[in-house]
Amino acid sequence: MPFNSDKLGEECGVFGIYDFDHNDVASTIYYGLYALQHRGQESCGIAVSDTEGPDRNFSAIKEMGLVSENFKEDQLDSLKGNIGVGHVRYSTAGGSVRENAQPLVLNYVKGILAMAHNGNLVNFPELRRELEYTGAIFQTTIDSEVIAYHIARERLLSENVEEALRRACAKLKGAFSLVVSSPRKLLGARDPWGFRPLCIGRRGNAWIITSESCALDTIGAEFVRDVEPGEIVSISAEGIKSDKSLMMDKGRRGRCVFEYIYFARPDSIIDGISVYDARIKAGRFLAQDSPIDADLVIGVPESGNCAAMGYSLESGIPYGIGFYKNSYVGRTFIKPKQKSRETSVEVKLNPIKDAVRGKRIIMVDDSIVRGTTSDQIVRMLREAGATEVHMMVSSPPFLYPCYFGTDVPESKQLIAYNHSVDEICKIIGADSLNYLKVERLKEIAGGTDICQGCFTGNWPISAPTEDIRGKYEP
């Protein structure tokens, strides 16, 4: 469970690099993962290999916790190799244990593969059972291992690893953005719907495949392009190759709109759309559709800040900083006990009294999931002297679960499924409550097709007949 239990988990982040000048890449992967830390704080890992060495020379480090907590300089120096992959994880299926940390390193008859995965497969149970009944023994409880096994199995029947990856991906149903390292190739694959982001970058003679463009900026790499939905890319000494045989019609896409609302960093660009601009638009739309007379607009840090700025720009109401966020509260924080006066929210957020005292406040947040913290935040503002608190939410109400890598829980746990907007407003103690309209979602994503199943119940592909989220917890 995330530290703030009313927030969604940030999925996962993947990073792969191949340096043709033969420089060691472990430290670069470290900085790339550091830039992607917002996508997952449960575990992290790095696996590297030397393309001029033996085929079975992958070395890896995987640990629970944050990137900065687990990779020391001497460890990175010990990881020798010019090709490798990295991963930061937030679990939406499978337990939060070290065995489930990625990258997965698979030693099989054709050599070794290292793989990092972001997303969730809806046909994971069927694929796993197929392998189990042919003698496969699993070391983890995650769908990523099923993908790795199917790649290895298809490699026995394929001329090269690219063909094996394509044949394995053709079996997968759901969300997957993959980075795969073989002894002498770096590959990336994105599901045909494009649920999760994936992009290509270059720094000199090094090529990178990663979840977000912000990771490229961090290491001084140039953004080349996005991996298209349904595309498989292969980078080797022969250059970069593209296989688009799994692509669907370009009009059919299912990008996760919550990348633009919450998950991605605001300095990232996903499928040609600035995340920062998308959040500014969301705030502007809230001001157009739900105008409120107030003195100050504030955001709930961090993801509410851009939308709050958008509301301010559109409405003309001044924007201000209403909270101090303690950025040093990580996953290892000792949570207050139930009988303690302190709460997790109060330790992490503190209202700036001089900013809000005596003012009518519009407070913008990215979402309300279970409704377990919004009431505390509203109360904190009132205790700090705010005369009115009007809450704006830069996403529609969550009504249905997500099966594609976001931990939106089952409907009965969602406050909006069981209560009207007016009822939620009373529960959280706000003077008013307004959500972004569903029809605005496509507009903030630049008009591209998006997945909005958690708001409408209409997913791009059918929901699984067997919901495995949590089933494989140890």
In 3D space, the residue among 118, 92, 124, 93 whose CA is nearest the CA of residue 103 turns out to be 118
d(CA 471, CA 474) in angstroms, rounded, equals 9
Does the bond joining 301 to the residue before it have cis omega, within 30 degrees of 0? no
- Decide: 30 and 86 in contact? Cβ < 8 Å: yes
Which residue among 12, 44, 169, 425 is the active-site one? Answer: 12
Both tokens of 468, joined, read 């495995």
Enter the DSSP assignment of 227: P
Picking from 273, 252, 141, 258, the residue whose alpha carbon sits closest to that of residue 196 is 258
* Cβ-contact 148, 113 below 8 angstroms: yes
141 contacts: CB under 8 Å, gap ≥ 6:
94, 95, 99, 100, 472, 473, 474
Residue 246: both structure tokens together: 């799994």
Question: Are residues 17 and 186 in contact, defined by beta-carbon separation less than 8 angstroms?
Answer: yes
- Residue 170 C-beta-side C-alpha neighbours within 13 Å: 11
SS3 letters across 59-70: EEEEEECCHHHH
Identify whether 12 is a catalytic site residue. Answer: yes
Distance CA 345, CA 450 (A): 32
Q: Please name which of 264, 284, 286, 290 lies closest in space to residue 276, comparing C-alpha atoms.
A: 264
Is the sign of the CA dihedral 143, 464, 14, 149 positive or negative? positive
Q: How many CB atoms within 10 Å of residue 353?
A: 13
φ/ψ of residue 218, rounded to 5: -60, -35
* Backbone region of residue 43 per phi and psi (left: phi > 0; alpha: psi in -120 to 50; beta: other values): beta
CB atoms near residue 336 (< 10 Å): 13
Q: Is 450 in contact with 460 (CB distance < 8 Å)?
A: no
Which residues does the annotation mark as catalytic?
12
